[in-house]
Amino acid sequence: MRSARDRGWDVSGAGPQPAPRPAGEAPPKGRSPLAHLLHALNQPLTGLQCSLELAVAGPRPNEQYVRTLREGLELTGRMRILVEAIREVADAQPLDREQFEAVQLDDLLRSAVADLFPVAEAKGVRLLLVSGAPLPLRADRRFLTTLLFRFLDSALSLALEGSDLRIDAAPEREQASLVVAWIPGLPPEHSPFSRPEVGLLLARVGWERAGAEWIHTRTGTLEETIEACTVRLPLAPALAARWP
């Protein structure tokens, strides 16, 4: 298994360089997460409506009704995921700064990676965490812990089996830079509205809610694509002053 750097990944935090041939469908740009999710909801909803209309249109063999019900349940399950996501985005409010405390992003990262390590191992994905310097933040610890888990959990789901998922965290002037990069596997079922892709979208919403900048890129060649999400958020002011 080759490492991300062996593969020539740019995980410096400055953002991957555009490749001559972008591969696959780019992550949603120019459309708000809410609009993206509402668009996604149309698909299973239309499917369900058509399926039910066909079922009541005339007498059908019993097995067809059973199939319609099963399809309906599957479509409802997909809609439930999307409705939950829509609600989460719609309900998002600014974080309560009174809940903020001193937290170390690097510590939280190590903990999230340790939690997901067995999952990565089972999938044959190597989790590479590169985090040397401390990354002090003022943040809602619980919110950040949940957000990190969701972010890495979604990226891990999308990573190609047997590949590396690289996580680079480093101070960058007065900001903490977090870059998560992976080689995507086959597009998941219902892509680009699959559960892990929706999870990544919700992670983006969460990071932006936390005051972070979010950049999602997909670069590489047709043979090998690299997907990377870069998050930059301010270091705790007093501690950031120590960095040159």
Partner 1 sequence: MRILIAEDDEALAKFVRQGLEGEHYSVDVFPDGEQARTAATEFEYDVVILDLNLPKLDGVSVLRHLRAKKPSVPVLVLTQRTRVEDRVQCLDTGADDYLAKPFSFSELSARIRALVRRSHLPSESVLLAADLKLDRVQRLVERAGRRIELTAKEFSLLEYLMLNLGRRVTRSMIIERVWNLTFDTTTNVVDVYINYLRRKIDDGHATKLIQTVRGVGYELSAPSAPSAPCEAPATEVGM
Please report, as ranges, the residues that interact with partner 1 according to CB under 8 A.
77, 79-81, 83-84, 87-88, 91-93, 96, 115-116, 118-119, 122-123, 142-143, 145-146, 149-150, 153-154, 156-157, 195-196, 199, 202
Nearer to partner 1, 147 or 170 (CB): 147
Nearer to partner 1, 165 or 169 (CB): 165
Q: Which two tokens stand for residue 242?
A: 């120590």
Nearer to partner 1, 15 or 72 (CB): 72
Beta carbon of residue 114, minimum distance to partner 1 (angstroms, whole number): 9
Nearer to partner 1, 18 or 124 (CB): 124
User: Strand pairing of 101-104 and 225-234?
Assistant: unpaired
CA distance 163 to 58: 51
Beta carbon of residue 105, minimum distance to partner 1 (angstroms, whole number): 18
Tell me which residue has tokens 């891990």: 156
Provide the residue count of the chain.
244
Name which of 101, 133, 233, 230 is nearest 175 in CA terms.
233
Beta carbon of residue 125, minimum distance to partner 1 (angstroms, whole number): 10
Nearer to partner 1, 12 or 146 (CB): 146
Beta carbon of residue 69, minimum distance to partner 1 (angstroms, whole number): 14
CA distance 198 to 54: 30
Backbone angles phi, psi at 173, to 5 degrees: 55, -120
Beta carbon of residue 203, minimum distance to partner 1 (angstroms, whole number): 10
User: Strand pairing of 175-182 and 136-139?
Assistant: unpaired
Beta carbon of residue 91, minimum distance to partner 1 (angstroms, whole number): 5
Count CB atoms within 10 A of the CB of residue 58. Answer: 6
Nearer to partner 1, 40 or 235 (CB): 40
Backbone angles phi, psi at 227, to 5 degrees: -110, 140
